[in-house]
Amino acid sequence: MAENTSNSGLLMVRLVTPDRVLLDATAEAVELPSRSGYLEALYGAAPLLAELGAGEVRLHGGTSGDQKFFVAWGFVEVLPERVTILAETALHPNEINVAEAQTELQEGEKLWQEAGDDGEKYDEANAVTRQAEEKIASAEGKST
Amino acid sequence: MANVLDLRRRIRSVKNTRQITKAMKMVSAAKLRRAQERAMQARPYAQMLTNVLESLVRRSDLFNDETGDVMHPLLVEREEKNVLVVVVAGDKGFAGAFNSNIVKAAQNFIDSRRAAGQNVDVEPVGRKARDTFRKRYPAAVYEKTEEHYDNDLSTHFETLRHRASPIEVTGDHPTMLLKIQIDDVSDMARDIVERYTRSEIDSVYLVYNEFKSVIAQRVVVEKLLPIRKLGSHEITAAEEMSEEQREAAAHAAKTAGISVNVPEETVVEAEAKKFGTAEVDYIFDQEPERLFRHLMPRYVTTQIFHALLESAAAEHAARMTAMDSATNNAGDMIDALSLTMNRVRQAAITKEIIEIVSGAAAL
């Protein structure tokens, strides 16, 4: 497989969740929501290891066309010819349950109220809120 | 002696039972196949996560230069005074000795720790484990305190543990096995990590049924925290299958069309092993220490998740084996009963002939 793609200028993209390998495809470019903001990987990128935040992974070009996935929390490894995304949660935008995400959002806000002076709890509350917000945005196709 | 009619009724009833056990066996076989697949699919993630951790360990300084202390709380080894043991059993019976083996292994562990003067917390997963340990030990009592200061602008929460007895049940997860989901496991792992970090417990062990294939299983006690070596399972005690059990399992698997071999490594899995280990200098998007801090709880989650999936597969395998022997036993019983029935019938016929013959002779 590696021989076929090594000169084609296409990245091999693999999206792995704790349950299964969700996606195994090729793409010309991949947008990734890292903790510190979106980054885009192209063929031949410098090796990078980053923590994943919540947001959308977007694949451009490639044999199976453009694809989008909502992901939250995990890690991503970028190598010159391969991108591997390790996500705790990964959903196809169609699979997102908006009502559920709304409940999560409220829960996050509740956690935030209750966090008191505990820094870690704040982080957790923020994480929950952010994930819910991104989920809703992704479901509505308005993700930034 | 029973008459023919009774025996015939009895045979019919055993035949019905045999049909039920046979159906249960096939259902378990199908569930086992799915559980096995699920466990396989979960492997790449676990492997990759471990790799990221290892690659981080190599790069980031986990030890404080000045004091030589380990930086991450989950790696710190303390004297084991309070031990937490997570017992993973099944939700349902009809699985042979599956549940009782696990409970026995857990009880041995608890007794030995208790004999060494340590306090033990039990966290049962699965209804069978919960029912057993709830009956034996009291539940732990927690007190949540709330302190308000700065005119209620700030609140401080604290959870206090009041230990009344040396062995207590700290929490249970009766519904976790219905549908093993990473979110539930993640909540549980976070709770455990939190308790570990605030020194309520000094070490964490996991008792579960390891599953490599139908004929390669064992009940193990695995050390979960503190993590001594990443990626390796630290087994402190193991109970292998007996030759007899193995034969029974192999027979059940053969008749249900399940392979007894350990599944081969897939391409994805082989590549998963290389994840994060390329001989290049990675650019880290965040500082390695920070990445590491976020990774550790996830690593613990994955370990528990993995144990749950294997245990689920093992439970189905155990049920399949148990139902297979039940079916065989029913078959044997039908044979024995048919023999007796024929004998009784023959005896009745013989008796009648003798009666007729002697009646005729008397004429």
Q: pLDDT value at position B251?
A: 84
> What does the angle CA B106 – CA B110 – CA B114 come to, to the nearest 5 degrees?
170
Neighboring chain B residues of A79 at a CB cutoff of 8 Å: 278, 280
Per the CB < 8 Å rule, is B42 touching A19? yes
Residue B29 in contact with residue B320, Cβ under 8 Å? yes
Average pLDDT over residues B67-84: 74
**Residue closest to B75 by CA, chosen among B193, B183, B177:** B193
Q: What fold is seen in the domain A2-93?
A: ATP Synthase; domain 1 (2.60.15)
Please, which pLDDT band fits residue A7 given cuts at 50, 70 and 90? low
| B274 vs B51: CA distance, rounded Å | 8
Average pLDDT over residues B181-191: 87
Do the strands B82-88 and B119-125 form a parallel or antiparallel pair, or are they unpaired? Answer: parallel
Domains in chain B: boundaries? 4-278+289-354
Q: Among 3.40.630.30, 3.30.43.10, 1.10.10.410, 3.40.1380.10, name the CATH number for the domain at B4-278+289-354.
A: 3.40.1380.10
Where is pLDDT greater, at B43 or B265?
Answer: B43
Q: pLDDT value at position B325?
A: 92
Q: pLDDT value at position B349?
A: 93
Where is pLDDT greater, at B65 or B197?
Answer: B197
Residue B38 has pLDDT above 70, yes or no: yes
From B102-111, B295-304, B307-316, the region with the lowest mean pLDDT: B295-304
**Residue closest to B134 by CA, chosen among B164, B109, B170:** B170
Please, which pLDDT band fits residue A3 given cuts at 50, 70 and 90? very low
B39 touches chain A (CB under 8 A): no
Residue to substitute from A75, A79, A104, A128, interface B, most B β-carbons within 10 A: A75
Average pLDDT over residues A12-37: 87
Average pLDDT over residues B143-171: 76
Average pLDDT over residues B175-192: 85
Q: pLDDT value at position A8?
A: 67
Q: pLDDT value at position B85?
A: 92
Residue A16 in contact with residue A23, Cβ under 8 Å? no
| B299 vs B124: CA distance, rounded Å | 20
Q: What pTM did the predictor assign? A: 0.82
Helix (H) or strand (E) holding B76: none
Average pLDDT over residues B92-98: 86
Per the CB < 8 Å rule, is A34 touching B285? yes
| A128 vs A72: CA distance, rounded Å | 10
Using omega within 30 degrees of 0 as the cis cutoff, is the peptide bond preceding B174 cis?
no
Neighboring chain B residues of A121 at a CB cutoff of 8 Å: 157
Q: pLDDT value at position B102?
A: 92
Q: pLDDT value at position B290?
A: 75
B278 touches chain A (CB under 8 A): yes
Q: pLDDT value at position A2?
A: 43
Residue B242 has pLDDT above 70, yes or no: yes
Buried b (16+ CB within 10 A) or exposed e, B313-343: bbbbbbbbbbbbbbbbebeebbeebeebbee
Average pLDDT over residues A23-43: 87
Where is pLDDT greater, at A8 or B284?
Answer: B284
Q: pLDDT value at position B29?
A: 92
The tokens 């935030």 sit on which residue? Answer: A112
Per the CB < 8 Å rule, is A19 touching B281? no
Residue B57 has pLDDT above 80, yes or no: no
B245-300 pLDDT, tens digit per residue, is 888 888 888 888 777 777 777 777 777 777 666 666 777 777 777 777 778 888 88
Q: Both tokens of residue A121?
A: 């709890």
Q: Smallest CA–CA separation between B221 and chain A, in Å?
A: 23
Per the CB < 8 Å rule, is A48 touching B156? no
A76-125 pLDDT, tens digit per residue, is 888 888 888 888 888 887 777 778 888 888 888 887 777 766 677 777 77
Q: Both tokens of residue A135?
A: 């989920």
ipTM, two decimals, is 0.76
Neighboring chain B residues of A41 at a CB cutoff of 8 Å: none
| B32 vs B26: CA distance, rounded Å | 10
| A52 vs A71: CA distance, rounded Å | 8
Residue B18 in contact with residue B271, Cβ under 8 Å? no
From A75-84, B101-110, B169-178, B231-240, the region with the lowest mean pLDDT: B231-240
The chain-wide mean pLDDT, for chain B, equals: 84
Please, which pLDDT band fits residue A1 given cuts at 50, 70 and 90? very low
B182 touches chain A (CB under 8 A): yes
Q: pLDDT value at position B62?
A: 59
Where is pLDDT greater, at A122 or A32?
Answer: A32
Buried b (16+ CB within 10 A) or exposed e, B86-118: bbbbbbeeebbebbebbbebbbebbeebeeeeb
Average pLDDT over residues B34-62: 79
Per the CB < 8 Å rule, is A86 touching B186? no
**Residue closest to B39 by CA, chosen among B217, B238, B191:** B217
**Residue closest to B124 by CA, chosen among B233, B207, B235:** B207
The tokens 């505990």 sit on which residue? Answer: A118
Residue B169 in contact with residue B134, Cβ under 8 Å? yes
Please, which pLDDT band fits residue B332 given cuts at 50, 70 and 90? very high
Residue B356 has pLDDT above 90, yes or no: yes
**Residue closest to B76 by CA, chosen among B206, B230, B236, B196:** B196
Q: pLDDT value at position B194?
A: 85
Per the CB < 8 Å rule, is A116 touching B156? yes
Q: Hey, which of B65-74, B247-256, B319-328 has the most confident mean pLDDT? A: B319-328
How many contacts (CB atoms, under 8 Å) link A and B?
Answer: 92
Domains in chain A: boundaries? 2-93, 96-139
Q: Smallest CA–CA separation between B217 and chain A, in Å?
A: 22
Q: Smallest CA–CA separation between B323 and chain A, in Å?
A: 29
Residue B40 has pLDDT above 80, yes or no: yes
Buried b (16+ CB within 10 A) or exposed e, B243-280: eebbebbbebbebbebeeeeeeeeebbebbeebbeeee
Average pLDDT over residues B78-91: 89
Please, which pLDDT band fits residue B147 given cuts at 50, 70 and 90? confident
